[in-house]
Amino acid sequence: MKPEEYVLRATDHYYKGEYEEAIRNLDRAIELRSDFAEAWYNKGIVLSVIGRNEEEIEVYNKAIELKPDYAEAWNNKSAALGRLGRFDEALNASDKALELKPWFAVAWCNKGAALGWLGRDREAIDSYEKALDIEPDYVEAWNNKGISHFNLDDLNEAIKALDKALKLKPDYAEGWYNRARVYAKKGINKKALSDLRKAIEINKSFIEEANKDKVFEKLYDDEEFKKLG
């Protein structure tokens, strides 16, 4: 088989959730053609899904070494660095992606995330707005914009952004959870509990998050909160 055929086979395994098989096929493609930047990049995507972030970054570095103008690899590297808490490096990588591809909405969103992690929420909001100028229905950008407004105590603006995210994606558990946090901070407990209930119905892990989240402390003794768990 040709290297390109192994990549296609890997893609098929990836969409079936057969990640180790996907990696094996990508490795075979790379053995046959070591300068195949797209195969290295695709391997990074698979490694990301299974949480092997250090290896993921190494693979993106290889793709970038082969193809320095590979904006998508720079962008995914930014996301991986962020997951490892290497936020300054994540910001630099997203800036490089945007230097190569200024209309890259996902890169603007990743830049916003890096800025948010660094406590630079005003700048983060600017980045999310640029992402939304390019892709107005970008759910994650609306959600992240809401989080940054929350961090800045712009609670009404946070609700507006999260309302938009939930209108676009009603089954978005993270959006329900984040809006619950805003309502809890505003002291609107009934709405906070309602949104939190919806988040937990979609994703049970949010009950554990809520029990560790100080913004919900005033609700811990509420009987409705206790029923959520």
**Cα 172 from chain centroid (whole Å):** 13
pLDDT at position 229 over 80: no
Radius of gyration for the alpha carbons in the chain, expressed in angstroms and rounded = 20
Q: DSSP alpha helices (H): ranges in 17-86?
A: 19-32, 37-49, 53-66, 71-83
Whole-number Å distance between alpha carbons of 192 and 181: 7
pLDDT of amino acid 221: 86
Which pLDDT tens digit goes with each residue over 191-216?
999 999 999 999 999 999 999 999 99
Give the mean model confidence (pLDDT) for residues 52-64.
97
Domains of the chain, CATH where assigned: 1-68 (1.25.40.10), 170-229 (no CATH)
CB 165, CB 171: distance < 8 Å? no
pLDDT of amino acid 7: 97
Which pLDDT tens digit goes with each residue over 152-179?
999 999 999 999 999 999 999 999 999 9
CB 46, CB 14: distance < 8 Å? yes
Which pLDDT tens digit goes with each residue over 112-148?
999 999 999 999 999 999 999 999 999 999 999 999 9
- Tell me, what DSSP letter sits at residue 13? H
Q: Which two tokens stand for residue 43?
A: 């391997």
Q: DSSP alpha helices (H): ranges in 101-138?
A: 105-117, 121-134
pLDDT of amino acid 224: 86
Note the maximum CA span of the chain: 63
pLDDT of amino acid 1: 87
pLDDT of amino acid 3: 96
| Residue percentage of the chain with pLDDT more than 90 | 94
pLDDT band at 82 (very low <50, low <70, confident <90, very high): very high
Which pLDDT tens digit goes with each residue over 21-41?
999 999 999 999 999 999 999
pLDDT of amino acid 220: 86
